[in-house]
Chain A
Amino acid sequence: MPPDEDQLVIDDAPLADPAQVRRAMEYYAARGWTDGLPVVPVTASYLEEFLATTSRDRGEVILPMPHLNRALTVRLAAINAALAGCLPSYFPVVLAAWDSFLLDGGVPKAIWQSTTGTAPFTVVNGPIRQQIGLNSRGNLYGSGFRANATIGRAIRLGSINAFGLRPHVLDQATQGTPAKYSCCIAENEEDSPWPSLAADNGIGPSESACSSTVIRSVLHIEARHTIVPEQLAADLADTICRTGAMVRAFASVYVVLNPEHARLFDSRGWSKQDLKQAIVERGSRTYRQLEASGKEAIAKGTGWRVPADHPDAIPQPAPDDPDTPVRIVRSTHDVQIVVAGAPNAGVSSVVETFGAVGRPASTVKIEDQQ
């Protein structure tokens, strides 16, 4: 039930003078230390509560950005987690998410300055999900869940405040994506027939983990119509191979299956690896289809898709048969599968990533609470 309108207004100031709270919030806004939404004022004592949740030294550099002459330390990550509205108990997840971005590799190489405009994306596995109330079910991508909303936001605020990646200045995103405000999900391990993403990457059942990368789009898949796994795999592969997404020569995605879709595959005897392989096998476009969009060739240097007559195109003869398939999904490592969402409809999603390709997910164990 939504709150009564009057309940939204604190009129008796039980804890603090609301005018002082607003002044503190305006202090941050006036300095640009925000993503545009109000941030939570951080005091020195509140910061200590965050730092007390980790054994790591506050001065430890988590993610260096040498080309900007800047670095993210544990302390800076904690300040931004607090600004984002995290509770101190979320901080170990934020730290592991940053570690995972370092491992993924795109962030330290300046991907967040790119015109493509990628957002941080993190998947959380393990018991920490219940401990801090991370949502893995309905309304997965938001909103309505503090842990998801603020952990994802902590990363974005860290990029703004620690690295100075502000829009129109060092963040050159042409359009960006709504996911830049926050995009942190948990896997619905309880409703999944398969081992989790973390288990796939060597994390034990009593441990928690983050897998992070940078993303461009979250595309929804409507597939309530079929009980044939091959049809569902074809629907997913078709979306993954859309030409509009192609800058790089090859696609790389997270497929976030709702539990109903995952159970459909499982009931027909498909493992997660079987589904990945089926997507790779269907992961192509014909030369004719690519040519229609001017993306049939690969550029020297950048490796981007360009028309064959582009000055940068690597010379390559067109195939005799224009319906020859051209591979877009190169390897099963480029298709990570996560089960999440409510088990209430055949609605899944494809998350188009722009991070590491051709290797396993960048999964990092979350430190146990101190």
Chain B
Amino acid sequence: MLERVGIPAVSLCTDAFRITAEAMARSLGFPGYQYVAVPHPIASRTQAEIDVIAHDFLPEIIRVLGAGLTIRPAD
């Protein structure tokens, strides 16, 4: 939604929610929307574990953030 009005944005979810993320993208008329899926779960991890995930996924988050409203490349 933000990207449609020109505001850089990145959607994050855990990999348990991939099916829903794809369905949401289709519902909003943008199948293949690029988002970042991080390992599940989040709520029951320690701060140290969260920090590791954040560190590992930061490059991908920055890449998607800078990519604009784009369809993700085919696997």
Instruction: Give A residues with C-beta under 8 Å from B.
Output: 67-70, 113, 164, 168-170, 172, 311
Contact = CB atoms under 8 A, between A and B. Distances in A.
Contacts of A168: 19
B24 A170 contact: yes
Given A311-B47, A311-B50, A164 B19 contact: no
Contacts of A67: 24, 28
Contacts of B47: 311
Given A311-B47, A311-B50, A69 B28 contact: yes
Nearest to B47: A311
B59 interface: no
Contacts of A69: 27-29
A172 B20 contact: yes
Given A68-B24, A69-B28, A172-B17, 19 more contacts: A67-B24, A67-B28, A68-B27, A68-B28, A69-B27, A69-B29, A113-B20, A164-B23, A164-B27, A168-B19, A169-B19, A169-B20, A169-B23, A170-B23, A170-B24, A170-B27, A172-B20, A311-B47, A311-B50
Interface residues of B, number: 11
A352 to B, nearest CB: 20
A67 B24 CA distance: 8
A311 B27 CA distance: 34
A70 B29 CA distance: 11
Interface string B31-56: 00000000000000011001000000
24 contacts: A67-B24, A67-B28, A68-B24, A68-B27, A68-B28, A69-B27, A69-B28, A69-B29, A70-B27, A113-B20, A164-B23, A164-B27, A168-B19, A169-B19, A169-B20, A169-B23, A170-B20, A170-B23, A170-B24, A170-B27, A172-B20, A311-B46, A311-B47, A311-B50
A258 B64 CA distance: 57
A266 B20 CA distance: 50
A164 B20 CA distance: 11
B19 to A, nearest CB: 6
A67 B19 CA distance: 16
A173 to B, nearest CB: 11
A279 B1 CA distance: 44
A306 to B, nearest CB: 9
Nearest to A168: B19
B15 to A, nearest CB: 13
A246 to B, nearest CB: 14
A275 to B, nearest CB: 36
B1 to A, nearest CB: 8
Nearest to A311: B47
A172 B28 CA distance: 18
Contacts of A68: 24, 27-28
A213 B66 CA distance: 41
A169 B47 CA distance: 30
Q: In the A-B complex, list the 10 residue pairs whose CB atoms are closest, starting with the nearest.
A: A311-B47, A68-B27, A169-B23, A69-B27, A170-B23, A69-B28, A172-B20, A169-B19, A170-B20, A168-B19
Interface string B2-24: 00000000000000010110011
A168 B16 CA distance: 10
Contacts of A70: 27
Centre residue among B23, B28, B47, B50 by max chain A CB count within 10 A: B23
B41 to A, nearest CB: 10
A172 B14 CA distance: 13
A164 B46 CA distance: 35
A128 B28 CA distance: 40
A305 to B, nearest CB: 12
Contacts of B29: 69
B64 to A, nearest CB: 20
Contacts of B19: 168-169
A283 to B, nearest CB: 26
Contacts of B20: 113, 169-170, 172
